[in-house]
Structure 1
């Protein structure tokens, strides 16, 4: 049976406090729990992964778990936040800060599809799991992605390279296209390789957003 996540914390540990400053060793130990949990969640699912399984995999005492996390739901939220941060870092590393906004969106979209393919197990977990914790994680991830894209779109509209339409809807179009094709790839419903697919998605969003043919052509130059 799945382990109850409502069990009280052991009295020998301090309550998990998100504002508490951790030492370098503490941050490393917490990240170790996050990494082990991510692997187990993707292999077994959220419900079937017990706290005992996580601490055993991390090689730490169960009491230490509650020093960092209130319960398994809090740990899952941390795992989801960690992968969102990794996605944003991957996008940032792929985007040329000197490029025009439309080209930046192309670079970011291509990097996003590649990252989601490399971490397909976790994104599949978010799709199939039900419950408040996974729903909140999905919503936060989507909202963050939309916000990031919207910021670039506004700059592109000011520069005249992105079409003058509602920026929220344009951002949703980008995020939706990335998410749809990523889902199609990880569920095995396309034989297109990830490099070719990511470039196709990137080209597609550029053509939707471009203010004119000249802007699209400039953004698509490799």
Structure 2
């Protein structure tokens, strides 16, 4: 018998910390609500989206919503955290077996481009978060940059990268990745992900100065 696909379970911060599901069934219901919210907010935007629309898409009762979230604002905030975590969880395995820090960044970008193609709604949701919930918006990018900075510092400690790389370089790489995801993950899904990631990775490794 074929293995069933793994259902990504939301982290605690994706819901109300006081309403964390204690059972597998509860975690699956929360997952359904978050997935439905991603579609609802992605298609309709925050202001036109509704709790009833979310529960209808999730196939759950209205009462189930309030088991995990107090309001539309609360599930939106949880959704931003959830999507940030899902990007992290999608990218991390792709970097396993990398031959070094530069290779790891290329693998990370390729994985992100694949995620962006599969979850194009992430761009609208995160962009709206800047105005709906600025703290979530800032946390999404800050935690992503922290992970990149940690990888760069590890690469410096290992002797592959130059010393002193940190926040500025991490935000620069993240900015490049974000807009490459928009261009080649949302606007155009025909280009080869590996080829795009390889060219961007060459930019990280060699810069743009003629040698």
TM-score normalized by the length of structure 1: 0.76
- What is the CA distance between 1:63 and its match in structure 2? 2.1
Q: Which shows bigger deviation, 82-91 or 108-117?
A: 108-117
Matching of residue 198 in structure 1 with residue 204 in structure 2: no
Name the residue aligned to 2:166.
167
- Structure 2's unaligned 5+ residue stretches are 1-14
CA distance in 1, matches of 2:108, 2:186: 22
Task: Find the counterpart in structure 1 of residue 112 from structure 2.
Answer: 112
8 A Cα contact 1:124 1:186, kept in partner: no
Residues 128 and 18 (structure 1), Cα distance of their counterparts in 2 relative to 1, 3 Å cut: closer
Q: Which has the larger radius of gyration?
A: 1
1:64 matched residue in structure 2: 64
Q: C-alpha separation between the residues in 1 aligned to 2:204 and 2:74?
A: 35
Find the aligned partners of 1:128 and 1:30 in 2 and give their Cα distance.
22
- Check the 8 A contact 2:21/2:27 in 1, yes or no: no
Q: Distance in 2 between matches of 1:85 and 1:57?
A: 22
Contact preservation (8 Å) 1:45, 1:129: no
| 1:84 match: secondary structure | helix
Q: CA RMSD in A?
A: 2.6
1:1-222 to 2 correspondence within 5 Å? 17-19=16-18, 20-97=20-97, 99-127=99-127, 131-133=131-133, 135-186=134-185, 188=187, 192-208=191-207
| TM-score, scaled to structure 2 | 0.79
Cα distance in 1 between the residues matched to 2:145 and 2:129? 22
Deviation at 1:175, TM superposition (A): 0.6
In the TM superposition, residue 187 of structure 1 has moved relative to its aligned partner by 6.0
Point out the structure with the larger helix share.
2
